Structure 1
Amino acid sequence: MFQLPFPVRDSNATNGNKDLGDLPEWDLSDLYTAPDAPELATDLDWLETECASFAADYEGRLAGLDAAELLTCVQRNEAINTRAGRIMSYAGLRYYQQTTDADRAKFLSDLQEKITNFTTPLVFFTLELNRVEDDRLAAHFSANADLARYKPVFDRIRAMKPYQLSDELEKFLHDLGVVGDAWEKLFDETIAGLEFNVDGDELGIEGTLNLLTDPDRAKREAAARELARVFDENVKTFARVHNTQTKEKEVIDRWRDMPSAQTGRHLSNDVEPEVVEALRNAVTAAYPKLSHRYYELKRKWLGLDRMQVWDRNAPLPLEEPRTIAWDDAREMVMTAYEGFDPRMAEIATPFFDRGWIDAGVKPGKAPGAFAHPTVTEVHPYVMLNYLGKPRDVMTLAHELGHGVHQVLAADQGEMLSHTPLTLAETASVFGEMLTFRRMLDNATSQSQRKVLLAGKVEDMINTVIRQIAFYDFECKLHDARRGGELTPEDIGALWMSVQGESLGPAFDFMDGYENFWCYIPHFIHSPFYVYAYAFGDGLVNALYAVYEENPDGFQDKYFDMLRAGGSKHHKELLAPFGLDASDPKFWDKGLGMISGLIDELEAME
């Protein structure tokens, strides 16, 4: 089904595409040529028929299949997933280009309902698979190497076995999924439709968030206060969406007897709770030597007695405002990719040349950035809101890294290509690191180097510190919701409880900042997604340290890791590099890289 990864950055674009060159737009015809394309109608008909046929052929029989029959069953299921994924990718990507268009929203909703109805009879597949005895399944794997390839998928499915409900309840929850999707769409459409007025300029949320990076402090303050005003006007709607989504999750988790609200995410990420807890503890313990220390430096650079929230992403006084045209951004990123390995640039080139990127800011377009893999028989698509800031170049490097990863993993097939979120950020953050290091090497002055270092530290703080603070907020939100309905003030208090702790004593917080949880899409679309960013950044920092220490043969091992997709556990993937994420000291290695960059900035004082 269609699900998007969402961006880590909370400000990365402006309104208008002036002086940026020819920004690419998506060509979705590799999926379908039009909403009324005959191929789409044919695929829908095939999907309806094949789902019914699959259920008729296999329901109640899975435990009795031999290895060859089970392989055929799995391959038919994979073909169904591929066709459904292709349809929903087309509808979803088309919708995200213009979320305020009623026809596109209806098209997406209608297809989601159809496919939910078609696939409801297939719910038995995972339920019956979990009833097959371990010994019998092991014998099947021994007897059939092609079936054994799918063992990682079986393992992830069977990890849900303790939390499985009756067949009837599972089908009911499958059908009910479209209701949760409706709340997500309400959130998306509300966010996309918000209007802001800053000093007489009518802006959407992207343009207004972008002003938080403006060199003019008065402009930043005006934007922050306008964000607070509009969020306050809409906070009841956002509170209703958050209350409903967290309550729905609480009910489902309670029926499944899950030990915590985070359990489902940990299972889908194929990561142990203690590993996530070690990450969380390492990051929160590092707040003083990372974010607190950096923002104290920034306070001095800005010449302020106290920082306000609108100063968090302010450019440095010595930073010269510049707009980077699209072709220049492409050259920067592709040179960095080429310098690491020509194969990386070769894989990335079609994204620019074949309509696989939608870059410009347009009315109604979804905010932020993402890379969506679609299905393995097609190719990924990247969405940006590009307006020429240095951070937008890093966003391009980030999302293009996802795209490269998704292309390499596609050979695993539909069921094995999807990487758990914790590892899905590896190539994206690594792409950013390559681009940053290339730009740093090309710096022509101490001030340029300082600006680049500070920008990278801020990105890392946004990726690690801020996302773990988001994770703590979500943990508190879901825990509090179990005690009853939460008012906007309740949610705001939870939000503020993590902000001061993570940002540090340099900050004051304006009235209205307590509602800035409203616009973060992760909380609605993918509860507890956010720790994956911190996981990915820590992982890449450790990987990059290995690369710098011993570059010989690193590229081949790196490409092998990306090609593995979701076919291996993080322990297997990191072992060739001598790394182990289950070791608490692993996270200190990654956090040490951030601390080292801050050391370098302090030494420049």
Structure 2
Amino acid sequence: MDKLNQNWNLEVIYNSTNELHVYLHQLEEDLQVLARGINSFSTISIVDANKMKILLLDLGMNKGKLSQATSYITCLLAQNPLDEKATLLQGKVTKLSSQFEHTLTKAKNIIAQISPELWEVLIESPIVNDFKFILIEWRNAGNTSLTHNEQAMLSSLMTDGYHAWGQMYQTLMGNLKIELQIEGKKHTYSVGQALNLRAHPDEHIRKFAHESLEKEWAEHQQNFAKILNHLVGFRIQMNQLQGIEDALDEPLRKNRMKKKTLDAMWSAVSKHKQPFVSYLNHKAKMNHDGKMQAFNFWAPIASVGNKIHFDDAINLIVEHFSKFGPKLKAFAVNAFEDGWVEAENRPGKSSVAFCASFPMSAESRVFMTFDGTMKSVLTLVHELGHAFHNFAMTDISGLNREYPLSIAETASTFAEMIVLEAAMENATSIQEKISLLDEKFKRSVMNFMNIHSRFLFELKFYEERKKGLVAVHRINELMHEAIKEGYEDSVEEVSVYTWLWTPHFYITKAPFYNFPYTFGYLFSLCLFAKYKEMGTAFENAYIQLLRDSGKMSTEELVLKHLNEDITSEEFWEKGLKLCVQDVELFLQLTALN
């Protein structure tokens, strides 16, 4: 492909913030019409399936319109966290989102209150068959101790309370500047740029960046501890109001997953950590360390050439995607040529890579900071995987586009595997293969150890927060204990401030946004094994799986498309064994080298 711009094109979404103002005004009127439509269902004596379908389609349409506006503002604030106009618009969209959630809650309550006789007639009607899963999900979740007025009040409070704390985190983190003195010159980095230095080939720079970040976290830890305490405190109170004691109840429901599935996954992971401990120990010895140092974890293991130019990275991605299937290749080419990607390495950007969906435009936008490392190439690929999932669901009705977070990480991780596997096959030297295997294992360690530690920390923090505010020193202790258990004490100098700079702890719409990554990673390994069996014929089956991801539970989805039982440890061990085989190859190659 020809030389491409590293900045995205947002103007095709909205020409200006003034155009967004007009859009939001119309959306506000649309939401009022929707609310009146919901009120017509307030007393149900006869269920009209046709009318119900229209209502569900309207809900999905307005959900898409809100997502469109939210994504646009998210993009504006990512490229410039100090954008005051975008910040004001964010408040407007948050208020409209609250109104929509209020209307949606009312719709769910109406579904829950339909008499058993009328419900049987409705749910078996072919007219609403496309919404059958979500209707049943709403009805099953409708048994809440909160009255409609209490739910409305709670939704309203979330705007200026709960969600505001999450937005405060984004603002504070986006405003942080890291000052580093490198090679006699003073440099100012955003958090994202400073974190990227963890993959710098010079160990002194990696260590210096690590220590500078630790100093920055220590200076601001009180403010971030306050935010985390209030976010989790709100969630706990919200759960208690609804009679929910288990902190995992909401994330499991949102992931459409059984507790048995989560337990089976973590049990399998815990039983198979030793090979990755061996990998970390071996890599530490290669660096002449007794134990892996955290600031060396992302370091390139071998010199395999110069930095990867952005254009070369794009060509590499397109080439490898083409080997998977023509639809994925065409999608990637379109995304790059139409300006879907913001990758410029510059200060003042947000530190968090993400993919934003624009359902009304049938487009996505990918945000990241490209620094020429294989790690940044894979970050770009990861976010493009999310965008491909959005693409696969282009013509799916709004309410059925909302897939669980566990499945959300499947397409992104699968895309990484395509590129890594193809790159391994094309490797021209042992050193290159070693380097690529190392990149693979970094992801394995992140999913099996780092994310496990996040999960363990969040569980422990919730328990302590129930007793009252948790002091900063205790938060750090909890993080340290979780890291020690998650990594099986195989890494030193891991930041006890991980709770502070990990944005997933502060995402208000997704508590426990950790285990979905591990789920998606292992699930992707199983899908990748299927792809190896079927070749390019797998692409259509893969797209169908993504299309179905908003219409059934994770257990049903895997059973339908893979004929596998994910509540058993045996399923997860299939994916883990593929990773273990790669560890064995790595140890062989490094011994030869």
Letter in 2 for 1:155: I
Aligned match of 2:211 in 210, 225, 228? 225
Deviations 1:267-297 (A, max 9, x none): 011111111111122222322232x111111
Whether 1:172 aligns to 2:146 is: no
Aligned match of 2:174 in 184, 192, 206? 192
**Counterpart Cα distance in 2 of 1:431 and 1:592:** 20
Quickly say closer, same or farther: Cα 1:432–1:77, change in 2 above 3 A. Answer: same
Give 1:168 shift. Answer: 0.9
Whether 1:87 aligns to 2:80 is: no
Give 1:222 shift. Answer: 1.2
Q: Percent of counterpart pairs with the same letter?
A: 22
**Structure 1 residues 423-434: aligned runs within 5 Å:** 423-434=407-418
Letter in 2 for 1:422: S
Quickly say closer, same or farther: Cα 1:254–1:299, change in 2 above 3 A. Answer: same
Give 1:377 shift. Answer: 4.9
Whether 1:454 aligns to 2:438 is: yes
| 1:487 corresponds to | 471
**Counterpart Cα distance in 2 of 1:418 and 1:329:** 31
RMSD between aligned residues = 2.1
Quickly say closer, same or farther: Cα 1:371–1:297, change in 2 above 3 A. Answer: same
Quickly say closer, same or farther: Cα 1:309–1:122, change in 2 above 3 A. Answer: closer
**Counterpart Cα distance in 2 of 1:417 and 1:118:** 17
Give 1:262 shift. Answer: 1.3
**Structure 1 residues 243-322: aligned runs within 5 Å:** 243-290=229-276, 292-316=277-301, 318-320=302-304, 322=306
**Structure 1 residues 445-594: aligned runs within 5 Å:** 445-509=429-493, 513-525=495-507, 526-551=510-535, 553-575=537-559, 576-594=561-579
**Counterpart Cα distance in 2 of 1:171 and 1:182:** 17
Quickly say closer, same or farther: Cα 1:588–1:330, change in 2 above 3 A. Answer: same
Give 1:389 shift. Answer: 0.9
Give 1:320 shift. Answer: 3.7
TM-score by length of 2: 0.93
Whether 1:383 aligns to 2:364 is: no
Deviations 1:456-506 (A, max 9, x none): 111221133211221111111111111211011111011001212233444
Moved more, 97-106 or 20-29: 20-29
Give 1:122 shift. Answer: 5.0
Deviations 1:322-345 (A, max 9, x none): 321121111111111111111111
Quickly say closer, same or farther: Cα 1:21–1:214, change in 2 above 3 A. Answer: farther
Give 1:146 shift. Answer: 3.1
Give 1:48 shift. Answer: 4.5
Deviations 1:45-97 (A, max 9, x none): 53253244324433x23464321222222222223223222222222322222
| 1:17 corresponds to | none
Letter in 1 for 2:33: E
Letter in 1 for 2:29: W
Q: 1:228 touches 1:515 (CA, 8 Å); kept in 2?
A: yes
Quickly say closer, same or farther: Cα 1:482–1:42, change in 2 above 3 A. Answer: closer
Quickly say closer, same or farther: Cα 1:30–1:271, change in 2 above 3 A. Answer: farther
Quickly say closer, same or farther: Cα 1:57–1:87, change in 2 above 3 A. Answer: farther
**Counterpart Cα distance in 2 of 1:547 and 1:22:** 31
**Counterpart Cα distance in 1 of 2:10 and 2:385:** 20
**Counterpart Cα distance in 1 of 2:437 and 2:476:** 33
Quickly say closer, same or farther: Cα 1:121–1:570, change in 2 above 3 A. Answer: closer
Letter in 2 for 1:159: N
Q: 2:549 touches 2:557 (CA, 8 Å); kept in 1?
A: no
Give 1:384 shift. Answer: 1.5
Letter in 1 for 2:230: T
**Counterpart Cα distance in 2 of 1:63 and 1:229:** 64
**Structure 1: segments with no counterpart, 5+ residues:** 1-19
**Counterpart Cα distance in 2 of 1:106 and 1:249:** 25
**Counterpart Cα distance in 2 of 1:383 and 1:598:** 31
Whether 1:101 aligns to 2:83 is: yes
Give 1:130 shift. Answer: 1.3
Q: 2:34 touches 2:58 (CA, 8 Å); kept in 1?
A: no
Whether 1:44 aligns to 2:30 is: no
Q: 1:370 touches 1:399 (CA, 8 Å); kept in 2?
A: yes
**Counterpart Cα distance in 2 of 1:52 and 1:275:** 38
Moved more, 443-452 or 340-349: 340-349
**Counterpart Cα distance in 1 of 2:403 and 2:204:** 43
TM-score by length of 1: 0.91
Aligned match of 1:65 in 47, 50, 54? 47
Moved more, 204-213 or 519-528: 204-213
Give 1:135 shift. Answer: 4.4
Deviations 1:416-451 (A, max 9, x none): 012111111121111111100111011111111111
**Counterpart Cα distance in 2 of 1:177 and 1:256:** 15
Number of equivalent positions: 580
Aligned match of 2:36 in 43, 50, 53? 53
Deviations 1:157-198 (A, max 9, x none): 233223452101110111112121111111111111112222
Deviations 1:25-61 (A, max 9, x none): 2323443221111751552353253244324433x23
**Counterpart Cα distance in 1 of 2:498 and 2:191:** 12
Quickly say closer, same or farther: Cα 1:324–1:69, change in 2 above 3 A. Answer: same
Quickly say closer, same or farther: Cα 1:517–1:21, change in 2 above 3 A. Answer: farther
**Counterpart Cα distance in 1 of 2:105 and 2:320:** 45
Quickly say closer, same or farther: Cα 1:164–1:25, change in 2 above 3 A. Answer: farther
Letter in 2 for 1:563: R
Quickly say closer, same or farther: Cα 1:205–1:93, change in 2 above 3 A. Answer: same
Q: 2:324 touches 2:536 (CA, 8 Å); kept in 1?
A: no
Give 1:507 shift. Answer: 3.1
**Counterpart Cα distance in 2 of 1:118 and 1:503:** 42
Q: 2:76 touches 2:83 (CA, 8 Å); kept in 1?
A: no
Give 1:415 shift. Answer: 0.6
Quickly say closer, same or farther: Cα 1:545–1:134, change in 2 above 3 A. Answer: farther
Q: 1:63 touches 1:131 (CA, 8 Å); kept in 2?
A: no
